[in-house]
Structure 1
Amino acid sequence: MKRHLLPIHLLRSVTSEMAAEEFMQILVDAEYSLRLVALRAVLDTVRDTALDTPLAEVDEAWDLLVRVETAAPEVARRVLAYPYVGTWARSVLRRLRGAATADGPPPPGAAVPLWAEVGYLHALAASAAAQAGLAFGIRVPAVHGAVSLPTLGLVRLPGAAPATKVANVLAQAATAQVTGLPGRVEVDFGEAVVPLPTALADEARSWRPVRHVRVIEGGVALAVTVEDLDPYRLLAGRTEPQPLGAAESAHWRELLAQAWRLLVAVDGEAARTMARVLGAITPLPYAERFNLRSASSADAFGSLLASAPDDPAQLAAVLVHEFQHSKLGAVMHLARLHEAGSDRLLYAPWRNDPRPLAGVLQGIYAFAGVTWFWRAHRHRAGTKRERRLAEFEFALWRAQTTGTVASLRGNPDLTPLGKWFVSRIGRWLAPWTAEPLPSPIEWAAGLAATEHRTGWRLYHLRPAAEVVERLAAAWHAGTAASLPAAGPPLVEPARDPARLETRAVLLRYRLADPATFAQFVAEPHRAVAAVDGADAADVLLAAGRFDEARRIHTARARAAPAQRDAWLGLTLCLYGQDPAPGTVDAAARTALLRHAEVVRAVARRVADAGRPAPDPVLLAAWLAS
């Protein structure tokens, strides 16, 4: 197998710009070699497992893939490099290595028996052989009356009910025979034979091909699969096909074309580099306006999952985001940026939960790319409202990413290369911090950043019990005290972390859709229905009506000191009011911004001792004295 090296001059280029096509080929080749290693691990593990299966031995499937490699190497590589083959390899290895008995019932949550999951390799071989035009025959899994042919499509037994309408999902695994001759492929379910169309990309009765989208803008082409059929298209393991309707497919095709147009306009060479990696996207259900969900996996290099976006610019930013993740995931397969076993959990302003160092490194690289996109796109936005939203995204992610880079400097778990990497990202971002933005945009971004950071502290940091006890006793006694200067609080991930961007979503409404936001202010129940976690006080806060919102949050914090959201809301009100230095409000603002979790813990301890709950502003100011 080829030995893969990571030239430092190319690594330098991808920490200071988006376009580095030569570097992409190195990563693509390395990831393909890693994929072959994963397949070898599956083969070896299956061979060592006493697997009771109605399928042929895995070596028969592998031999068919070898035939494809000999006859049509480009087909073999395209099929084996398909992102979801990596997700399958991870999933089946976990089951093979974790099952008590290989031929026993599937573990809780498994959709199919183990043999059917291993049989994805047989289906992969059939798909490759069909595309290579070979004569072949191989038995593959048929789950709920359907055969998945990865990279090709889905064959369904006529009359079979989709898995979503089947009550006993674990009992629906059978087999089918796939036979191929030059110009002809058919699937024999036993009770019916389904011939596939000569042109495998054509749709036919009982046959749904994978949908491909190819768009060209300014001579730069993007070719991606919109994957709604492959059983391993999601990160959690096997799932059933969920074919998009014709209208949904057309909508995604148009969104991708428009997003690609934006990316090429921003930087054609960077877009060309992205096209070398991005190969598949799995649509997710629509999430919420101004809050698109997306994800990717190092196992599925070159793919991403995304909920339906609000507009092409949002999708373009997500494509950049997940492209960055794919790049850095491949780099981290070749180079060590952090010490093994570095398990300390850290703050990441793009996640609601604490993250390990590897996740934070991924985040700063991904959001450096997001910041890059919004910085350029804000000058090309078509309308004033689109420009305001782009400016907000640029301001928010510029602040969040540069702040996180600064927090990682000197981290003892970084390797020398990791420290160099973080420094290079900081140098890439640095010139952008001097670029001016309208003050209302800076204010809104600052409020959104404060919401996330303070909310994260309230949910995931636990002050030392002895410190809280000492401060509560001092409050009871009426003596002076101040926030502890020594020893950071423990990171203790909450079991039910709240969403920490509710007000940020409302601010986006205010900037980009003022008419709807005005309706929210007039009728708060509309905001409650439209924005997850929102209530009337949040709408007042996002509208800048801090006095009204403060009264609500103060009353809540006093009535129920344990309520985290009340403390978060109060902190944001004081942040927004920006009280004059030397006042009680200014002192309380400082204490809550720096140590909201300590103020809340002391208030709880005072109330738990049977004393009247303290005024939250006076308590915070006292702690800051």
Structure 2
Amino acid sequence: MGADRHTMPTETFIALARGKGGPSAVRTLTAGQHSRNLLTLRELVDRCADLGHPHADSVGRAWRLLSGLRRVEPAAVRRILTYPSVSAWAAETITRLDRPGHTGAPEPADGPPWPAMLSVIVAAAARYAGTPLTVDFPTPPGGAFPLPMIGHLRLDPDPPSMVELAVTGHGLTVDGRPPRRVSAAADGEGTGSTWWPVPRLRAGRRLEVRLDDLWSLARPGATPPVRPDEAARWRVALAPAWRLLATHHREYAAELAAAISMVMPLPPEPTALTGGGTAAEQRAALISGTFPTGVGCVALSGAGDAATTAATLVHELAHNKLAALDDLFPLVRPGADVRFPAPWRVGPRPVPALLQGLYAHVCVAGFWRRQAHLETRPTGVRRARAEFGRLRTACRDVVELLLTGDRLTPPGRLLVRHLHATLTAW
């Protein structure tokens, strides 16, 4: 089972370089993520075999099942393999298996890698396709694990060492019994495995995202599923922003619908995301983030007014697009960790982060430029104009800094030149 060969028309790259591209460009980027994940999984199978990892047999069986499923249900397999938690799990697992001296033995600091999750991913693809299939794999730590995009399973209090998970025409069975569906993650009473569907947020006819945790596969059992009441709060919080985008910023809305499949709720003060931010960012009611290994995920903490939340979604959409583009066309040359000042962060930033920040802030500047013509209240107009002017000036400074250096690859230099052209046209 091999990855596909990809080409990108010049006009598509230029459209992306100008902060746009549309759903067709996003689909090209997603296809690249699919192939990257297939290659990572193939490497994972080989690495487990070479190490004599305890999961090697289970992983090998899962890979063969995945290969067969891909031949008959390629769209379902692609959908699951590009789900952000699958991407993050694959990248983290192969990294931990490749640590010098790793033999498959548990690692006290962070627990062992769990490559047998490939069986769960195969079951999720079969469930999504509606294809009957049975997998077996060692019981994950804590006796809990998710089926990506679909739901979370918690096993019996005293589960066996191996789990048999069957996808049937009626749903799922675990060791021959259907799991008991519950409505709150705190429910732990009764007998039999328990099941929580992944909440889905729908807006209009186009946007559908899951409320989920990016690391649910890589760290099984560490994070409880999103509760229904929490999902209801997020539906209310995101609805005004989506209406604004879908009504007045349709290009961004179309790209969001094509690119983003997961919103990851964060605690009120996610220090991992705010530590390098400005004082205003650290006090903000809405904090957001993305992860290069989890393209398709937007992490959010809190919510703001419709325009603030919409601008945040545009910002994180840009980060996702550039991370996927960088996988296809490396944009920065390897080199020493030289850092430069960034107008939107505290302290100097390495060149890859500076480029990511530039791309995202050009896209957000475009949002505020249009929003300035849509606002009806004087305070809204002043705010939009101020945000646009501030970001345009900051981005121009970073463009000049990047173009005078030698760290950009030819595709990276082309991208920055077109960002410069966009800023100049404004």
Same fold (TM > 0.5): yes
**Structure 2 residue ranges without an equivalent (≥5):** 182-186, 270-281
Supply the AA of the counterpart residue of 2:194: S
Counterpart secondary structure, 2:341: coil
Which among 241, 244, 247 is matched to residue 262 of structure 1?
244
Tell me the equivalent position of 2:88: 87
1:400 aligns with 2:394: yes
Tell me the equivalent position of 2:233: 251
What is the distance in 2 between the residues matched to 1:145 and 1:2? 36
1:278 aligns with 2:279: no
Q: Is the 8 A contact 2:201 2:210 kept in 1?
A: yes
Cα shift at 1:186:
1.3
Which among 192, 206, 214 is matched to residue 221 of structure 1?
206
1:187 aligns with 2:184: no
Question: In the superposition, relative to structure 1, how do residues 139 and 416 fare at CA in structure 2: closer, same or farther (>3 Å)?
Answer: closer
1:143 aligns with 2:141: yes
Per-residue Cα deviation, 1:19-40 (whole angstroms, up to 9, x for no partner):
4333222222122111111111
Question: In the superposition, relative to structure 1, how do residues 34 and 325 fare at CA in structure 2: closer, same or farther (>3 Å)?
Answer: same
1:150-169 → structure 2 map (5 Å cutoff): 150-157=148-155
Cα shift at 1:174:
5.1
1:4-19 → structure 2 map (5 Å cutoff): 4-19=6-21
Cα shift at 1:48:
0.8
Per-residue Cα deviation, 1:347-383 (whole angstroms, up to 9, x for no partner):
2222324322122111110111111112222343465
Tell me the equivalent position of 1:466: none
Supply the AA of the counterpart residue of 1:223: E
What is the distance in 2 between the residues matched to 1:228 and 1:147? 12
Tell me the equivalent position of 2:127: 130
1:59 aligns with 2:47: no
Counterpart secondary structure, 2:361: helix
Counterpart secondary structure, 1:6: coil
Counterpart secondary structure, 2:225: coil
Counterpart secondary structure, 1:346: strand
What is the distance in 1 between the residues matched to 2:242 and 2:392? 23
Cα shift at 1:402:
1.9
Tell me the equivalent position of 2:369: 375
**Structure 1 residue ranges without an equivalent (≥5):** 161-171, 198-202, 433-625
Question: In the superposition, relative to structure 1, how do residues 399 and 232 fare at CA in structure 2: closer, same or farther (>3 Å)?
Answer: farther
Question: In the superposition, relative to structure 1, how do residues 427 and 229 fare at CA in structure 2: closer, same or farther (>3 Å)?
Answer: closer
Supply the AA of the counterpart residue of 2:145: V
Q: Is the 8 A contact 1:231 1:240 kept in 2?
A: yes
What is the distance in 2 between the residues matched to 1:25 and 1:100? 39
Cα shift at 1:314:
2.3
What is the distance in 2 between the residues matched to 1:251 and 1:17? 31
Counterpart secondary structure, 1:52: coil
Cα shift at 1:390:
3.5
Tell me the equivalent position of 1:119: 116
1:176 aligns with 2:163: yes
Tell me the equivalent position of 2:272: none
Counterpart secondary structure, 1:148: strand
What is the distance in 2 between the residues matched to 1:183 and 1:291? 43
What is the distance in 1 between the residues matched to 2:210 and 2:422? 32
Cα shift at 1:210:
0.8
What is the distance in 1 between the residues matched to 2:22 and 2:267? 33
What is the distance in 1 between the residues matched to 2:420 and 2:224? 42
Per-residue Cα deviation, 1:266-316 (whole angstroms, up to 9, x for no partner):
321332133211111111122365353222222212212121222332221
Q: Is the 8 A contact 2:30 2:82 kept in 1?
A: no
Tell me the equivalent position of 2:279: none
Question: In the superposition, relative to structure 1, how do residues 314 and 232 fare at CA in structure 2: closer, same or farther (>3 Å)?
Answer: farther
1:154-553 → structure 2 map (5 Å cutoff): 154-157=152-155, 175-188=162-175, 193-195=177-179, 206-216=194-204, 221-228=206-213, 231-232=216-217, 240-287=222-269, 290=284, 292-341=286-335, 343-381=337-375, 383-432=377-426
Supply the AA of the counterpart residue of 1:377: Q
Cα shift at 1:250:
0.9
Question: In the superposition, relative to structure 1, how do residues 319 and 10 fare at CA in structure 2: closer, same or farther (>3 Å)?
Answer: same
1:40-79 → structure 2 map (5 Å cutoff): 40-53=42-55, 56-79=57-80
